[in-house]
Structure 1
Amino acid sequence: MAWTFISAASDLCQRLGYHRSRPPRDDDKSLRAAQERLFWTIHRMDKGLSFRFGRPSNIRDAEITLPHNPKEPRFTKVARIQGRAYDELYSPAALSRPIAERARIIEILGTELRVLIGETHAEIFDATNQPGDSEADPMRVVYLQCDLVCQYSLLALIWRAAPVVQGPSSVSEDCVAIARETLDIHHQCMLAVNNCKGDPSMVIRYINWAIMHIPFVPFSILFTRAIQLLDFADLARLENFATSLGPGTDSSESFTHPYRLYDLLCKAARIYIDRNIPSSSTDATLVDNPSISLGQFDFGSIVPDAGMVEGGNLGIDDAQMYDLSDWYYSNQQIMNLLDEDLMF
C-alpha cells in the first residue's frame, strides 16, 4: 500500500513539475519552497521503498533539474546514494558489471556515505553535550540515532556487493564489521527509544522506519556468516537483535511482527548450528574448514560451487555475480514476509 501511494505521489510531483527548476518570481517564492520540500520528502520515501522492494525508483535523479542547494538536508543526500546503490550495484544490469568496476563504485558510494555518517555522529555528540539548562529537543538524539541505523544499514548493503576472496565465508570482513556495528547502534537506539516514556508509539515508529522501510540487511549478513562458520558469537548478536524487537516484561502489547519472524530465524539458525557443530571426535579437517561440510550456504538459498553450473563452467566474476544476486533476492523474499499478515 505504501508503494502504491508513494508511486502516485511521485507521479503527481513530476506531472506538476516540482522536480524542475523554474525562473524565480517574487510572488511565488514561499509556494515554490513548499513544493520543493514536498518533492524531496517524497523522493526520500520513494528511494527507500524502491530499494526495499528491489524495484527501480519512480523518480530518476537524472531528470531532476532543481538548483543545487549547498544546505541540502542530509536525508536527501542519503536518498541519492540509495538510488545509485540500486542502479549501480543491485539492478539486473549492475549485477553483470565486472568485479573491478563494482569495487570502484562501492568505494565511491561508501566514501560519500561515511562522510554523512560522520556528520550524524558529530550532531549526536553536540546534542548529547548540551548545557543542562539548554532548550534542546530531547527527541533529537533519538531521531539522529534512527538515521544512523538507516545509514549504517545502507553502508552494509553497499559493502555486501564487494567481491570476496575465496574463503569459508561469502561475506567480506569489512561488511561483517559494518553489520555488527549497525546492530550495536540499533541497541543504543532502542535504549533511547524505550526511555521515551512520553511517546509510547516511538518503538513502532522506529521499527517501521529503520527496520521495515529500507532493506535492513545487517541481520541477513550475520545470519549467513553464523551459518557458514557455525559462529555462536554472531548468533548471539542476532538473538539479542530479535529480543530487542519484542515487548518489555511490563508491556501489555503483543509481540511485533518483525520480532516473530526474526525470532524464528534465530531459532532455526541455533538448531542448525547445534546439529552441525563439530564434536571432539569429528575429523580435524572439518573443524579447520567448516565450509567443507556446509557447502556455500547463504541466506535463503544454497549456492552452487563457484565455477560450476548446469551445462557448463562459471567464471569467477559470474560466480560472484550469481552469489550476490541470489543473496539479494533471497533477502527480498525474507523481507517480503514482513509485508504479509502471517502468524508465525
Structure 2
Amino acid sequence: MAESLALYACDKCRSRKVACSRARSGCQRCKDEDIVCTYSRSGVIRRNKKRKHETLVGNQPSPDGALNRNHSPSKADGNKLQSQLATDIEVTRQQLRELDNSQHSSLGALSSLSEAYAAVWHDASDFSKTGKNFFLFEDHAVSWVNAFVAALNRGRPLFSSAPPEVLDHLRASRPDQVHDRAWLVMYYSIILSMVSSTNPMDESTKAKLRCNLWLALNDVRLLLEPSEPNIQALILLACHVEEFTTPSLCWMLVTNACRMLQALGVSHRRFDSRTRERRLMIFWHLNILDKGLALSFGRPPTFHRAMAREIALPTLDQLLPFQPHRTSTGTPALFGAHFMHQMLLLSRVMADVWHCLYEETAPNKRSIELASEYLELWYHQAHRLLEAAALAEKPFLDGSSAASIDLGLRNVSFSYYYLLILLARSSSQMRTQCIDSSKRMLGLLENMVSDSEEPYNGIVWQLLCCPFTPFLALFGDILSNGKGETEDNKNTLAALEQLPVFLSKMSLRNSLAVKLERIAVVFVQHARSVIHPQEPRASEAAPFSQIGALPDPGPSTGDMSHWDSFFDYATTAPVLDQPQIGIHDAQPGDLATWTNDFLGDTIFDWIAWDGQV
C-alpha cells in the first residue's frame, strides 16, 4: 500500500520518502518551498496479489515438467481477462476526471489502459479459438461437403483434395475446429458460388455465407505465409466467387498468390517429383490468370514472360485428370486435357502481346506482325485440335456436357479475337481487321453466358471487361467514319447492341454487370443518334427490342457534343479529359486523333474505376 501511495506522490516527495498532499496543481510541501511540483508517473502499477492457495499451486511442478507453449486460454481465463480489462477502464476513467487539461498528464493516465489492452490482445491472439460465430447450416452440411469434394475433384490437377479431418469437421458443422483457414476459405467460396448460380434469389443464405467467408479470412497468415493451400484458396476466391470479389480484390489476391509461389519455388532441385509436379501445375494455372488479368485490367503481370519460357509445360498425361465431364462409356475424355494445354500455350502468347504493346518503347510494325503471326499460329492449331476432340467425344456426352464443350470452343475464339483486336488497334494498317474482329467478338457474346460452375468459361472479370475493347473500337468507328445510314454502320450498330444484352443476362451473376449495362446502353443510344439523326432523342426513343425494358439512358445529347453531361449522368463511367467537339459538323479526318485519344490503349483502369462505384 505504501508503494502505491508513493507512486501518487510528486517527484520531490517520493525522492524524500515523505508524505505528499498529492494535489496535481502543486502539493503543499512544494508550495511551501516555492519549487516546481512535477509528477513523472500518473498511473498506478497494480500487481495481482496471489492468494495463499494459488502460491502453493504455483510452487508445484507441472506434470509435463514444462509449460506447453501451444496452450490457449480457457473460457475462465478469458472471463478473468475481460474482468480485469473492465476494471482498468473504470479506473482510468476515474483518473481522467481528476486530471487537468495537461497533455502530459492525459497521456500518462492512458498508459495503464494501453498496457492492459495489449495484455488481453496477446492472450487472445489464437485465431483457432476466436472463430466461434460461424453460421451453421446443419441441414446442408453433408450435401455441401459432397459438392465441395466434387468441385475440387473437377478441378484436378490444378487443385488438390481436402484432408479427411477437414471434411469430417465440415460434415459435423464444426468449422471453428478447422485449423488451416485456407480450407475454410475454399469451402465457403465454392458453396457461395454454387448457391449464387443455383438459387441467386436466396439473399439470406448468401449473406450468411459471405459472413462466414469473411470470418474464415480473418487470419493474416492466409496472406503472409506461403503455402500451397493458401495459394489455392486465393485463386478460388479471386476467380470463382462473383458475389464476393471486385476487380481490385481479384487483382490483389492473384498477385499475392503469385508472390507466394515465387517464395516457395517452382522447380528447385531439392523438390521431390510429386512436389515439383504440383508446383508446376500451380505456376501454369497462375500464369494464365496473371497474363489474362494484366491485359484486362491494364496492370503489369507479376510473372516475367521469361519464366514461362524456362519452366516446362505439363504433359498431356499430367493434364489428363482434368476431366470435368465423363463420357457415357466411362472412357477417358481428352477434350479437357487438350483445352487446358492450349490455354497454357495461350498464356505465352499473351505475354508476348503484353511485351509488344506495353514494354517496348513504342509498338512498331514488325513486332506487331510477329505477335500477330504467333497468335494466328496458336489459334489455328488450337481450333483444329479442339474441334477434332469435340467431334470425337460429344456423341458420348449428355446435352449439358456437349453444350459445355461448345462453350469451350467459343471461349478459345473469344480469347483469340480479343488479343487480335489489341494488336490491330495499334497498327494503322490493320484497321479493317480490327473492325471485323470486333464485330465477330461481340457476336460471340450471345452464347457466352453460363453459370459460375462452367469449367470452360473464363473468370467473370474477363467476360465483363474484355468486350468493352471491341465495343469502344466500333463506337469510335461510327463516330469517325462519317458514313451515316450505310449498311456497314447498321451492322456495326447491331454488333454494339449485343453488349447490353449480354450484360443484362450476366447481371444475375454479378452486380457490377448492371452498372456496366447502363453505361453500354448510353453509348449505344449515342451511336444511334449519329447513324439516325432524324430519330427521336435517346430519352424518348423506345428501348431496344432485343433488350426489353432498359433503364432510362438519361438526358440526350442531341449533337453529341456535351460529353460532360453524358458522363455526369453515367456516373459510373470513367471520366475523360477530352475537349468538347461538335460531332455532326466535324469531318471524319478531324475525329481520327480524338477517337484514338478517347479510346486510349483500349484498356480502362478497371481497378481504380471499381473504387468509384
**TM norm. shorter chain > 0.5:** yes
State whether structure 2 residue 558 is matched by structure 1 residue 293: no
Q: 1:247 to 1:326 in 2, by over 3 A?
A: closer
Give 1:327's aligned residue: 599
Query: 1:211 aligned to 439, 463, 468, which one?
Result: 463
Q: 1:151 to 1:39 in 2, by over 3 A?
A: same
Contact 2:372 / 2:423 at 8 angstroms: preserved in 1?
Answer: yes
Residue 405 (structure 2) aligned to one of 140, 154, 160: 140
SS of residue matched to 2:505: coil
Please point out which of 504, 529, 535 is paired with 1:246.
504
2:273 matches 1:8: no
Query: Are residue 67 (structure 1) and residue 312 (structure 2) matched?
Result: yes
Answering whether residue 365 of structure 2 is matched by residue 94 of structure 1, we say no
- TM-score in terms of structure 2 length: 0.40
User: Matched residues in 2 for 1:326 and 1:84: separation?
Assistant: 25
Alignment match, 1:309: none
CA distance in 1, matches of 2:412, 2:494: 25
C-alpha contact 1:46 1:58 (8 A) present in aligned 2: yes
- The one of 266, 271, 274 equivalent to 1:30 is 274
Could you say what secondary structure the match of 2:591 adopts? strand
How far apart are the structure 2 equivalents of 1:68 and 1:40? 8
Name 1:175's counterpart in structure 2: 434
Task: Give me the whole-angstrom Cα distance separating, in 1, the residues matched to 2:409 and 2:277.
Answer: 24
Q: Are 2:283 and 1:39 equivalent residues in the alignment?
A: yes
Indicate the SS of the match to 1:94: coil
Does 2:299 correspond to 1:50?
no
Q: Which has the larger radius of gyration?
A: 2
For 1:124 and 1:186, the matched residues in 2 are separated by 20
- 1:4-31 CA-to-partner distances (Å, cap 9, x unmatched) read 111111111112222xx43386xx2122
Q: 2:475 aligns with which of 198, 223, 226?
A: 223
TM, length-normalised to structure 1: 0.68
Structure-1 separation of matches of 2:464 and 2:612: 14
CA distance in 2, matches of 1:11, 1:208: 23
After TM superposition, give the deviation of residue 52 of structure 1 in Å: 2.1
Match of 1:246, SS?
helix
C-alpha separation between the residues in 1 aligned to 2:497 and 2:474?
11
Secondary structure of the residue aligned to 1:217 is helix
Residue pair 2:313, 2:344 contacting (<8 A) in 1 also: no
2:493 paired residue number: 235
Give CA-to-partner distance per residue, 1:230-264, whole Å, 9 cap, x none: 4232112101332233239xx99987443222222
Cα distance in structure 2, aligned partners of 1:276 and 1:10: 54
Structure 2 residue runs of 5 or longer lacking an equivalent are 1-248, 317-339, 536-583
Aligned to 1:261: 519
> Per the alignment, do residues 74 and 292 of structure 1 end up closer, same or farther by CA in structure 2, a change over 3 Å counting?
same
Give the partner amino acid of 2:257.
A
Counterpart in the other structure of 1:317: none
Number of residue equivalences: 281
Is residue 48–residue 79 contact of structure 1 (8 Å, CA) maintained in 2? yes
Match of 2:425 in 1: 160
Q: Higher relative CO (CA 8 A, sep ≥ 6), structure 1 or 2? A: 1
Q: Distance in 2 between matches of 1:46 and 1:32?
A: 20
Q: 1:214 to 1:256 in 2, by over 3 A?
A: same
Preserved CA contact (<8 Å) 1:149 1:210: no
1:173: how far off?
A: 0.6
Structure 2 letter corresponding to 1:339: D
- Partner-residue secondary structure (3-state), 1:302: helix
State the secondary structure of the residue aligned to 1:264.
helix
Deviation at 1:76, TM superposition (A): 2.1
| Range that drifts further, 56-65 or 150-159 | 56-65
CA contact (8 A) 1:182 1:218 kept: yes
Residue segments in structure 1 that go unaligned for 5+ positions in a row: 165-170, 278-289, 304-322
Q: Distance in 2 between matches of 1:57 and 1:200?
A: 25
Identify if the C-alpha distance between structure 1 residues 327 and 94 changes in structure 2 by more than 3 Å, giving closer, same or farther. farther
Distance 2:502 2:305 in 1: 36
Q: For residue 327 of structure 1, what is the amino acid of its counterpart? A: L
Partner secondary structure for residue 59 of structure 1: coil
Shift of 1:161: 1.2
2:369 corresponds to which of 107, 132, 154: 107
